Amino acid sequence: MTVQQDKRPVLVACALPDAALAVLNDAFDVTVVTTPERPEPEQVVAMAQGKEILLLSVTLRLTRELIERLPDSIRGVATYSVGYEHVDMDACRNRGLAVFNTPDVLTDAVAEVGLLLLLGAARRAREAATLILDGQWTGWQPTQLNGVELAGKSLGIFGMGRIGRSIAHRARAFGMAIHYSNRRRLPPELEAGAHFHADPTSLLTTSDALMLACPASEETRYFLDTKRLALMKPGAIVANVSRGNVVVDDALIAALQTGRIRAAGLDVFDGEPRFDKRYLALPNVFMLPHIGSSTIETRVRMAESLRDGLLTWAGGATPSNRIDIKGG
């Protein structure tokens, strides 16, 4: 088939669900690296020969060194993720590589996990699950595992992008009052009645629950430190769907140990998949292994997003998911 001959050669350097791979296979001439779960730089360099696109995810750090070693045939990098802090963008710009990601399509999935984290933390889901799974449950008691309700509480969202707004939408349905802090104030139609805090300090002092939903950046790195945690209401809840390095683990663990912070819901960890093992000893931490975007619907949409972006780019236009690399 002629379409077959026109297909652009893509090297896939991450493990993808079959349904997502099928989307890419339909549109491109796909080769998957030999060990996609643990892509090795050497293997990627060797297998990228003659390929036009390198498709990877957060499981491979695309460092300057690796970028410089890529063959000249590579013209584009597509990351199967919305975050792209694992890609050295300066080095991509210097090499003239176009970079694509998957914004929008994982918003709902991550927002759902945001609510799961809030509920899990507020309603002591980890302790409750442990009690029943360990066979220790002896029957209902009015004193048993009393948590706090989300209804009537204030939710402070740090980072009111698509995911933050989607969490706000759901939290309103739970009866929460929405506050937010963001680099820029949103227009009224996106703010939807949420209260803007130009200074994150006032967000922290106002919120019964804090949701970290910001992108990872130099600005947000280790944002939630001892000083800022001390500003939060006693008994507040912290949830993180952003990146682990937005939180200083030492600070959060200390606040959870004393109960100054009632509970935390964490889907992301600094240095993951390694994480601070002290979290394991804290029953008031409801923790998940970075499953924010892990739905089959989202995984397929992520593949479609990259497929559409790459095909649009191949056709000479600029798709909305081509990352505008600043600087230089």
Active site residues: 243, 272, 290
User: Does 166 contact ligand DGY by CB under 6 A?
Assistant: no
User: Does 182 contact ligand DGY by CB under 6 A?
Assistant: no
**Shortest CB 294 distance to ligand DGY, Å:** 9
**Shortest CB 218 distance to ligand DGY, Å:** 17
Stretch 283-302 residues interacting with ligand DGY (CB under 6 A): 292-293
User: Based on CB atoms, which residue is closest to ligand DGY, 206 or 298?
Assistant: 298
**Shortest CB 83 distance to ligand DGY, Å:** 3
Closest CA to 302 of 49, 110, 160: 110
The one among 36, 83, 120, 309 contacting ligand DGY by CB under 6 A = 83
Select the span of 62-70, 80-88, 189-197, 248-256 touching ligand DGY (CB under 6 A): 80-88
The one among 47, 81, 176, 269 contacting ligand DGY by CB under 6 A = 81
Select the span of 81-89, 193-201, 248-256, 278-286 touching ligand DGY (CB under 6 A): 81-89
Q: Are 183 and 196 spatial neighbours (Cβ–Cβ below 8 Å)?
A: no
**Shortest CB 258 distance to ligand DGY, Å:** 30
User: Does 58 contact ligand DGY by CB under 6 A?
Assistant: yes
User: Does 265 contact ligand DGY by CB under 6 A?
Assistant: no
User: Based on CB atoms, which residue is closest to ligand DGY, 204 or 213?
Assistant: 213
User: Does 82 contact ligand DGY by CB under 6 A?
Assistant: yes
Contact positions vs ligand DGY (CB under 6 A):
58, 81-83, 106, 292-293
